[in-house]
Amino acid sequence: MIAVATLEVDAVRTFLAVADHASFTRAAEALGTTQGAVSVKLKRLEDRIGLRLIERTPRKVRLSAQGEIFIQSAREFLAAHERAVAGLTAPRRRFRLGIAGHVMGPEMPSLLARLKSQDPALTIEVLLDNSRVLLDGFEGGALDAVIIRSDDDRRDGEILGPEHFGWFASPTFEHHPGEPLQLAATSPCCAVRDVAVRSLDRASIAWEEVFIGGTTAIAAALSAGLAVAAFPRRLAPADTLDIGDALGLPPLPSLSIVLHSSLSDPRTKDTLRAITAAFREHRAPSSRPVALRA
């Protein structure tokens, strides 16, 4: 009889976490364990199937050629296991997550897919709005967790990382000296707008709002050359420049991104760990073109 290798669910889950996060440290954080335990489980899996799945150097963690082949089967294996277990033991549950519009970017599809894969019995309800509206909903019990920008009135919550801002506009945008700065901004209850206008006022720079909208609408206005806006560097449209130095605009402070949660059951903790780890992967500051002072 030909011996067939059997797979351990935890070992496969560990392999996928390392592959998804490209980091043993972040994989351990997502799994709620230690980096040493991640290494042990991965080696156990590699020894079991006789293949090296992950290549690890001091600077990089990536899939090996065998890992690239194995990963899809590993995902299907884990998904089948989770479906089987969920169908027998776990009732469906609803997780209500609020995310500030300026916070969540193009990583959102992969984040939601990861949550669904981790807990097939999870119904995900996502609300996108400004931080103050979401915090009110969280405090009123309408949301289970929120990812928002820091609020000066609160010191609790888990800090996920900083958000860096710049003054972005299209290369076609024109500002005429002596005239008010044409500004695109969100609603008056947005912390980013508050930071922007306070910075301009302190620098004695005249401004006027010529466009008001949400994150997507402001991005479109910037690309169209309608105005300049204080915008997250990570999310600024590719066809815009940071023109702050060129126009002599004041530097903008970074704001902290914070996770607030009201739930503490084990399943929710697993969900929050996945959110935290996935979100932190995308927090590295991006390098953007800068317009030079004339």
| Boundary residue ending a domain (89, 113, 136) | 89
Listing DSSP states for 54-109 in one string gives EEE-SS-EEE-HHHHHHHHHHHHHHHHHHHHHHHHH---EEEEEEEETTT--TTHH
137: CATH:
3.40.190.10
Predicted confidence at residue 41, as pLDDT, reads: 95
**Whether 142 and 269 share a structural domain:** yes
Instruction: Find tokens 């309408």 and name the residue.
Output: 142
In the three-class reduction of DSSP (H, G, I as helix; E, B as strand; rest coil), residue 193 is classed as helix
Query: Residue 55: inside a domain, yes or no?
Result: yes
Count the Cβ atoms, other than its own, within 10 Å of residue 116. 15
Tokens (6 digits) for 109: 């599809």
Strand partners, 63: 54
Query: Residue 294: inside a domain, yes or no?
Result: no
Predicted confidence at residue 197, as pLDDT, reads: 94
**Whether 107 and 240 share a structural domain:** no
Provide the domain limits for residue 100: 93-162+255-280
**Whether 120 and 265 share a structural domain:** yes
Predicted confidence at residue 224, as pLDDT, reads: 96
Query: Residue 153: inside a domain, yes or no?
Result: yes
**Residue 283's closest CA among 258, 249, 250?**
258
**Whether 259 and 214 share a structural domain:** no
Query: Residue 212: inside a domain, yes or no?
Result: yes
Predicted confidence at residue 182, as pLDDT, reads: 96
Predicted confidence at residue 186, as pLDDT, reads: 83
Determine the Cα–Cα distance for residues 234 and 16; give it in Å rounded to an integer.
Answer: 26
**Whether 176 and 229 share a structural domain:** yes
Predicted confidence at residue 269, as pLDDT, reads: 76
Tokens (6 digits) for 165: 């801002």
| Boundary residue ending a domain (205, 222, 247) | 247
Predicted confidence at residue 109, as pLDDT, reads: 75
62: CATH:
1.10.10.10
- In tens digits, what is the pLDDT along the chain, a chain of 294 residues? 445 578 899 999 999 999 988 899 989 988 889 999 999 999 999 999 999 999 988 888 999 999 999 999 998 898 888 777 766 666 677 889 999 877 877 667 777 777 777 777 778 888 988 888 898 999 999 999 999 887 555 667 888 888 899 999 999 999 998 999 999 998 777 778 889 999 999 999 999 999 999 888 999 999 999 999 999 998 899 999 999 999 999 999 988 889 998 777 777 777 787 777 777 766 554 555 555 444
Count the Cβ atoms, other than its own, within 10 Å of residue 146. 27
Determine the Cα–Cα distance for residues 192 and 214; give it in Å rounded to an integer.
Answer: 12
